[in-house]
Amino acid sequence: MSAAPYGFHGRILAIDLSRGDVRTKPLDASLVADYLGGRGLATRLFYDAVDPQCDPLGPDNGFVIATSPLLGTNAPTACRGHMVFKSPLTDVIGTSNSGGTWASAFKSTGYDAIIVKGRASGPVFIDITPERTEVFPADKLWGLDVHQTTDALSAESEPGLRPRVLCIGPAGENLVRIAAVVNDKNRPYGRCGPGAVWGSKKLKAIRVRGKAKIQVQDKERYQSGYDQALYLMKQAPVTKRLFRELGTSGLVELINVINMLPHRNFLDSFHDEEDLEKVSGETLAKTLLERAGGCFLCPIGCQRHTRVESKTGDYEKGEGPEYETVVMMGALCSVYDLPAITRANYRCNELGMDTMSFGGTTACAMELFESGYIRPEDAGGLDLRFGSADALEILARLTAYRQGLGDKLAEGSFRLAGYFKHAELSMSVKKLEIPGYDPRASFTQALGYMTSPSGACHLRGGYAVSLAFFGGTKEIPRFSLLQSPIAIRNMQNTGILQDSLGICRFTGFAFSTDPWARMVSGITGMDFSVAKLEEIANRIATLERMFNDEAGLRMEDDALPERFSRVPIVVAGAEKVVSRDAQERMRADYYKVRGWDETGRPSEAARKILHIKGRNS
């Protein structure tokens, strides 16, 4: 075993809640060389620790949160943690990323990653400091929402050292399959239902505080990458000012320009422009925005700190909405009421629930309702037609507490639609709700949703949207069957590296991998060239696939719902679908590009080329 590299503390915290057992394990430098940190490191530790066949809500499931070598430096946006678990929503690997302050604070406790398994006999929270880690009863916290829990655990232990809290709300406690784990009150690890995994373990929160520092091996090399990154972020309008001025929902009208903005549970993509303007980033900035904000060390500042009138006429404050929330709770539900979307966003944050899957599941419920499959008596008198803005906030509460129809929404759209005997109305891949970019408007994005390890996710599946803006050229495909597999592999790999470096996706709009390669090489003293990082991304993608393969995933699961091959939308004047044939061709080529066999299984040869070792239990 070799010593831990620079940039890390060399310690992993392993907790078994069934036994109340807390241990510290060394972090092997070879793991960093092969998997870098963040998503890569978490995936490897998770693969070694958890049986792919386990019940996602049983004690044998576990979760890993890992940090990267950049956390603890001043690298721009380097504050993000990555959580890996088996998802109770998708039954395959759950992989979710968050900014905020918690991950950096966790690293300041002197640990690089945490693995939690087992199930406590009653509610608990974990308290981590450099001196000790303890598991405390949390009976008094159980039932509190995310904001209340965070406040209850945030009292300063010494001046200037505020604890940071990562916790679940009622949705996680009630094993809602779309429940999130949240830090800084409003920054979620949102997708794939990690909150339900925590709830099943009776784990309410992890509180961290400390001042442990990491060492940088080659400060000059680090600084050269840092300087270049910061310079380029000041050049690109998107990182220099656009996100700060408009937030991510500045994108709403632009995505409509390229006919990619979904409507009515993906039945069409037509929006009245006046309606869209009501939910645009500009309108949000003019009406609800109090100030922009940023995660720790972020110069971009996309956060929306907002204020909205409540139903009782009072004003309440919170965070959001972002692009995905505006689209999933808004456009997808034919709701163009920004205050209503914002209030429902606040409720999701407090209750600890993914706004994206909640919006997608609500849109599914609305189509089931309009089709007569959910009857008015099933809905408890709620008007669930498309456009019912008032339903959002009510449904969020019902879902988090599993009351009435909310008990079915709590299962996500796939199980909801299946319960009402129309599973085909769930717009999901691998049971994860499709984000707010219509895959019929970009074959590359379609293939990304199909092959994302965690189901339909624009972040894990590859973000092909900026390609669409420049699209249709010979160089960059939007509707190219031939080029989409390579293009999306490249986009996915970029995302894997960003997740493994603990940095924000949005830096990718200003510059690519090279400055990060210099920074991470300077920190660790290990030679992470761009080519080496690319190899690491390929290794991580294949390891995720190995877990999914062992969990029972099959080639047929890498497909879009039937609607996308049968019902066209109009893109730049032409009707577009993603036919079955097109899906199968792109999928087959994607498997080849990844070095997997024709059924999508990572071959022995691919594992050898990528030096992926077998499970190390």
Binding site for another protein (CB under 8 A): 236-238, 241-243, 245-251, 253-254, 257-259, 282, 302, 322-324, 435, 458-459, 463, 465-466, 469-473, 476, 505-506, 508-509, 571-573
Cα 132 to chain centroid, rounded: 30
Q: For residues 259 and 565, which CB has a smaller minimum distance to another protein in the complex?
A: 259
CB 351 within 8 A of CB 146: yes
Q: For residues 453 and 508, which CB has a smaller minimum distance to another protein in the complex?
A: 508
H or E stretch at 308? strand 303-309
Residue 292, strand partner residues: 304
How far is Cα 481 from Cα 588, in angstroms, rounded to an integer? 11
Q: Is 216 strand, coil or helix? A: coil
How far is Cα 247 from Cα 264, in angstroms, rounded to an integer? 24
Least Å distance between CB 156 and another protein?
Answer: 34
Least Å distance between CB 359 and another protein?
Answer: 13
Q: What is the DSSP secondary structure assignment for residue 241, as one 8-state letter?
A: I
- Show Cβ contacts of residue 403 under 8 Å, excluding neighbours closer than 6 positions: 397
Least Å distance between CB 248 and another protein?
Answer: 3
Q: For residues 11 and 305, which CB has a smaller minimum distance to another protein in the complex?
A: 305
Q: For residues 131 and 475, which CB has a smaller minimum distance to another protein in the complex?
A: 475
Q: For residues 168 and 571, which CB has a smaller minimum distance to another protein in the complex?
A: 571
H or E stretch at 570? strand 569-571
Least Å distance between CB 435 and another protein?
Answer: 7
Q: For residues 35 and 323, which CB has a smaller minimum distance to another protein in the complex?
A: 323
How far is Cα 430 from Cα 465, in angstroms, rounded to an integer? 21
Least Å distance between CB 329 and another protein?
Answer: 15
Sign of CA dihedral 476, 480, 486, 491: positive
- The CA–CA distances, whole Å, from 369 to 378, 416, 424 equal 9, 12, 14
Sequence letter at residue 47: Y
Q: Which of 350, 253, 260, 246 is nearest to 288 (CA)?
A: 246
Least Å distance between CB 470 and another protein?
Answer: 5
Q: For residues 91 and 499, which CB has a smaller minimum distance to another protein in the complex?
A: 499
Q: For residues 231 and 309, which CB has a smaller minimum distance to another protein in the complex?
A: 231
- Show Cβ contacts of residue 427 under 8 Å, excluding neighbours closer than 6 positions: 265, 266, 360, 363, 364, 413, 433, 434, 561, 563
Least Å distance between CB 477 and another protein?
Answer: 11
Least Å distance between CB 281 and another protein?
Answer: 8
